[in-house]
């Protein structure tokens, strides 16, 4: 999850509609890739999918706790965080010491989990939209 991802999570919001099954999020999900699409004034500016460094995960427990192992490429180190989560409908909300954010559960099967968020902001007076997909597997 690098520093950019953590910054995006800090201000993330959810989007409507879902294509999830009744499968549970409980379990250890390994981070596989992140896809980021950026739009400037509604026009596509970038679309990049990055494979993630092995060893990163989200471990959702049935008591509402989540354990996260992430990698910071700037410092070349792994870090750990713990917190709680709430899964309701198609929304997965995380609360930890460093972050509080919600993401849409776009895909959930017994072996695949895709989380999505969309962030709108302004840069030099121009609207910027950033979409983020986090792909995980068991």
Question: What residues contact 124, with CB distance under 8 A and at least 6 apart?
Answer: none
Q: Is the pTM above the cut of 0.85?
A: no
What pLDDT, on the 0 to 100 scale, is given for residue 22? 59
- Cα 23 to its chain centre, rounded Å, is 18
The 3 state secondary structure assigned to 33-81 is EEEEEEEECCEEEEEEEEECCCCCEEEECCCCEEEEEEEECCCCEEEEE
The predicted pLDDT at position 13 comes to: 37
pLDDT at 123: 87
Would you state the pLDDT for residue 130?
A: 97
* Per-residue model confidence (pLDDT) at position 52: 95
**93, burial (CB in 10 Å: exposed 0-12, middle 13-18, buried 19+):** middle
What string of pLDDT tens digits covers the 138 residues of the chain? 443 444 344 434 333 334 445 579 999 999 999 999 999 999 999 999 999 999 999 999 999 999 999 999 899 999 999 999 999 989 999 887 666 889 999 999 999 999 999 999 998 899 999 999 999 999
**What average pLDDT does the chain have?**
85
List the domains of the chain with CATH numbers. Answer: 3-137 (2.40.128.280)
Contacts of 1 (CB under 8 A, 6+ apart): 9, 31, 34, 52, 56, 68, 70, 71
């Amino acid at each position: 999850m690098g520093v950019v991802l953590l910054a995006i999570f800090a201000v993330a919001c959810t989007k409507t509609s879902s294509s999830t099954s009744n499968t549970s999020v409980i379990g250890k999900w390994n981070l596989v890739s992140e896809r980021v699409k950026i739009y400037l004034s509604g026009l596509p500016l970038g679309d990049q999918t990055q494979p993630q460094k092995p060893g990163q995960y989200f471990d959702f427990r049935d008591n509402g706790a989540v354990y996260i192992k992430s990698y910071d490429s700037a410092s070349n180190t792994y870090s750990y965080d713990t917190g709680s989560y709430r899964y309701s409908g198609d929304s997965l909300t995380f609360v930890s010491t460093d972050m509080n954010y919600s993401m849409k559960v776009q895909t959930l099967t017994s072996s695949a989990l895709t989380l999505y968020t969309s962030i709108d902001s302004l840069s030099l007076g121009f609207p910027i939209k950033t979409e983020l997909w986090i792909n995980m597997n068991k």
